Amino acid sequence: MDTSKISGKNRKNIQIGSEVEIAQKHHQRSGELTDGFVKRLLTKSSSHPHGIKVQLETGEVGRVKWVINSSDF
C-alpha cells in the first residue's frame, strides 16, 4: 500500500468519505492536525489559500491541510 499526501487547498482533491488531516480553528496556532473522514464539504469555492473547510464524520470542523491518498491498486 502506497500512501501519499495531497494538498487540501483545492476542492477537486476532496470528496465525501476522503481521509484527510484538518486543522481545527482552536489548533491553528499549534499546527495540531486531526485526521478523519469527510462528511460534508463546507467551502463552496474551488480553492482556498488556507484549505477547504470540511466537517468530519465525528462532527469536527476544520480546514483540510492534507488529503491522504492511499492507492491499493
DSSP string covering the chain, please? Answer: -EEEEEESSBGGG--TT-EEEEEEGGGTTTT--EEEEEEEE---SSB-TT--EEEETTS-EEEEEEEEEEE--
CB atoms within 10 A of CB 10: 15
More confident residue, 28 or 67: 67
Number of domains in the chain: 1
Nearest-angstrom CA–CA distance, 59 and 73: 30
- Domain holding 20, by residue range, is 2-71
Short-list 40, 52, 71, 43, CA closest to 13: 52
16-64 pLDDT, tens digit each: 999 999 999 999 899 899 999 999 999 999 999 999 999 999 999 999 9
Predicted pLDDT of residue 71: 55
